Amino acid sequence: MIRLHHVPQSRSMRTLWLLHELGVEFEVQEWPFDKTLRSKDYLALNPAGRVPALEIDGRVMWETGAITEYLCERFSQPGLGRAPGDAERADWLIWVHFAETLSQHGAALTQQHVALYDDAMRSAIVMKLEAKRVEKCYGAVEARLTGREHLLDGGFSAADISVGQAIYMTRHFARIEPFGGLTGWYARITDRPAFKAALPKEGSKRLYSQEFYEPWDG
């Protein structure tokens, strides 16, 4: 039995997308983006009170990078992972975990734009700095994609899933359109059925209520 504990439009979407790509049987338990994640029941699954938590093989895993590595090794889906000894293993690991660099900036922006309800708590400076850091990350992805259809020469992999999902979040705060290579790649990977299956379902409460959050001037 595989059960994913998931908040729509959060990091756990990364694992949900990967599970759909793997084509394995699993179930999803949705949680709201609120104090429920600090409940005793949920903290027993993930002591940090964050998603994802993945029940698999009689245990619970958290941290998307670790989950991605484990699932790709556990199911050995051709193309999604890169096994130890593979010539692309190092690059695969770099990009799988680079997603968390993007996600950290995205989380800071989500906090500033979405989670803080009192304008007195927001910081226009933090918003601008974090958006610029996201754009620097976009530049790194753009450079990597020069002459490539995907992040690895061997084709679509879990590295594209990890970085692509992080950009799904950060594009709410920093536009991808100035980066032509990244924009084309993002369009290709988000046209995949597994990505579409990982989007919020009808009636699910969304983390982001709008497509883009304009910079806040205070």
Domains and CATH numbers, the chain: 3-75 (3.40.30.10), 89-192 (1.20.1050.10)
From 193, 101, 78, 94, select the one nearest 151 (Cα to Cα).
Answer: 94
103 pLDDT tier (thresholds 50, 70, 90): very high
Average pLDDT over residues 184-199: 98
Tell me whether strands 53-56 and 27-30 are parallel, antiparallel or unpaired: unpaired
pLDDT in tens, 160-171: 999 999 999 999
Tell me, letter by letter, the H, E, C secondary structure of 145-157: HCCCCCCCCCCCC
Residue 10 CB-density burial (10 A; 0-12 exposed, 13-18 middle, 19+ buried):
buried
What are the strands of the beta sheet with 3-6, ordered from one edge? 27-30, 3-6, 53-56, 59-62
From 40, 58, 48, select the one nearest 12 (Cα to Cα).
Answer: 48
Q: Could you check whether the bond before residue 52 is cis, i.e. omega within 30 degrees of 0?
A: yes
DSSP secondary structure code for residue 122 in this structure: -
pTM: 0.96
Structure tokens at 196: 């579409």
From 67, 129, 70, select the one nearest 104 (Cα to Cα).
Answer: 129
The pLDDT, as a whole number, for residue 206 is 92
The pLDDT, as a whole number, for residue 79 is 85
